[in-house]
């Protein structure tokens, strides 16, 4: 086989392989998305879930602050959540945000409960 013929076979083979690769990407998803596009879409969903969790935690913290009873670990949990999200650790970030929200909700519930409960501890005259 001459050199020219060998080069022609290599070129033809490359074209054929690139066609296969496009074929497999097309088969992978019903939307026809590429692997890269799927990763972007998944990342956006995760980002949205984190944003929701973070916003909910912020709102709960604001309510606790309005009740003048923020637990001391809560704000740092939110900071850690944001850092985890920035690092791409979405599941961890959402868990941390949810923990912060739970703490803030409990702090508010504590103040609601204590609004009357404190009286039971007052030493009787």
Tokens of residue 13, six digits: 């083979």
Torsion angle of the four alpha carbons 69, 75, 81, 86, in this order, in degrees rounded to the nearest 10 = 150
* Residue 71 in contact with another protein, rule: CB under 8 A: yes
**Residue choice 38, 75, 92, 105 for contact with another protein (CB under 8 A):** 75
* Residue 85 in contact with another protein, rule: CB under 8 A: no
* Closest CB to another protein among residues 58, 75: 75
Token pair 């890269």 in the structure block, residue: 36
Judged by CB under 8 A, the number of residues near another protein is: 22
Residues lying near another protein in the complex (CB under 8 A) are found at 68-75, 103, 106-107, 110-111, 114, 117-119, 121-125
């Amino acid at each position: 086989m001459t050199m020219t013929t060998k080069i022609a076979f290599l070129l033809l083979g490359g074209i054929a392989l690139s066609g296969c690769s496009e074929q497999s990407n097309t088969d992978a998803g019903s939307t026809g998305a590429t692997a890269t596009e799927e990763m972007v879409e998944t990342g956006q969903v995760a980002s949205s879930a984190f944003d929701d969790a973070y916003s909910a935690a912020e709102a709960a913290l604001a309510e606790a602050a309005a009740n003048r009873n923020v637990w001391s670990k809560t704000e740092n949990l939110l900071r850690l959540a944001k850092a985890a999200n920035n690092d791409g650790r979405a599941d961890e970030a959402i868990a941390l945000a949810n923990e912060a929200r739970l703490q803030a909700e409990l702090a508010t519930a504590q103040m609601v409960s204590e609004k009357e409960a404190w009286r039971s501890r007052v030493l009787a005259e």
